[in-house]
Structure 1
Amino acid sequence: MANYPKELPAQTQSRQPGIESEMNPSPVYEYEDYKGADKLKGKVALITGGDSGIGRAVSVAYAKEDADIAIVYKDEHEDAEETKKRVEQEGVKCLLITGDVGEEEFCNEAVEKTVKELGGLDILVNNAGEQHPKESIKEITSEQLHRTFKTNFYSQFYLTKKAIDYLKPGSAIINTTSINPYVGNPTLIDYTATKGAINAFTRTMAQALVKDGIRVNAVAPGPIWTPLIPATFPEETVAQFGQDTPMGRPGQPVEHVGCYVLLASDESSYMTGQTLHVNGGNFVTT
């Protein structure tokens, strides 16, 4: 069993979504002894937020399963290039696409570029997100509300809407949601609302696309050590991050890859409209 850190040094970053190369300790994004089994051989995956955090872990795992990867990210170029380098070491193609996933035109362009450069699209991982803690709903501006919904939810709507022009029977859509809509979070009101919308969207699209042979599922992370954490919270909060879980520690991005590989592969051929929870032992009701 891996020995992941239970405590984190106090730290903070001044920008979102944060830079992985500046984190201490660095998030764990791959199992060194992970051996791919060609579960995604010949497939193409588009992953938003694929440059770092959970997205980086998924990108590398999919590469090990022999999928070509398109990584969509905002402007964290150093992190993106590092992920691209690691993905290509697995002998697959990796395309970097930079832009704002909250804009429909860009989302359309990202899908079109993926199809043109990599020859198709089989897996869509809607993973990009942002959050801005506030002590009261009174502190949430219309600008913040719109920005959070555009990045977290509108992006998933836009990308799914465009991707289904190319997804074939057997394809998969995987949406990253959160533990928050299941348990509530009074300091992340708008963020939690976006994740609740994602849950409803996942179930509804699963019903809408089942006739086309396209599966739609979600993964709900708990407190995970990603760049969003030091970019979101003050130092003292980061130092205690994840310690209130039954496992007593924050999760690592790599601890999600089994879920994302499962949901992208034919091994989950009888699963749609479902959410897998990776949260350190917290019980939730669905």
Structure 2
Amino acid sequence: MVMIGTDSHKRTHTVVAVDDVGRRLGVKTVRTNSEGHLELVCWSAQFDDVTFVLEGCRHLTRRLEADLLAAGCRVVRVPPRLMAGARRSDRQPGKSDPIDAEAVAVAALRHPGLPVAALDGSAREVKLLSDHRHDLVVQRTRIASQIRWYLHELDPDLQIPSRGLKRHCVVAELLAELDRFDGVVDDTAMQPGKLPAQVAFDVVTRAGAEAIGRGDDLGSIEPGKQGDMVVFDTTHTTWTPPGDDPYLQLVWGTDGRSVRDVIVAGSRPVHSP
């Protein structure tokens, strides 16, 4: 059995192969692209019964993990909390990348039964889009809180209903009120964000699909692409009052309560009659 531990960075992966008693067998550094990953798979073919061990830095190792699994390699994940002890015991003078990669492999030897990686399916794609939307909701909440403080500074008597900044009629009334003020605080309150709703929508759809390398089959409704979509009920109260800009309403105004259907790869995991 050979464990190949990895130390991943934005531009390179450094790997160290160790045998079942922790003796170093080889070191390799490759680029973080598909060509580099193929080079790594070819290099690992010199060993028998190979397992790749990736530390749980998912943003740095996700593409490597996908390429290794696609090549038929066995991959396990080491939680970062298991790495501290291995690094302390194996620390030596010299460049840290091979040392850290070897520590990852040794940690896998010391902790059998680590979770085995598998190719991600549609569930991960839905989660990525859901995470994108969550980030936008957090941004909206931050901006709403910022606006409230600016408005309080301008006029403490301005009354804003709870969740009122989601409603077009309330925003229109506030903009009318702000016309009587002048200055930096007024300008900042009227333009708290720099991300237009249509751009935000593009981030969680087409650009989001391209970011995970699936722009050819996900992210937009076109012939030949996977049929993933979410259908909203625009008669729901979260769409009241209806606005002229559906992107603005969808991104900043409504929430999951108005979702009627979710279609993933032609199946319908969510359906409201």
Flag the structure with higher helix content: 2
TM-score class, shorter: under 0.3
Higher relative contact order (CA 8 A, sep 6+): 1
TM-score (norm 1): 0.20
TM-score (norm 2): 0.21
Flag the structure with higher strand content: 2
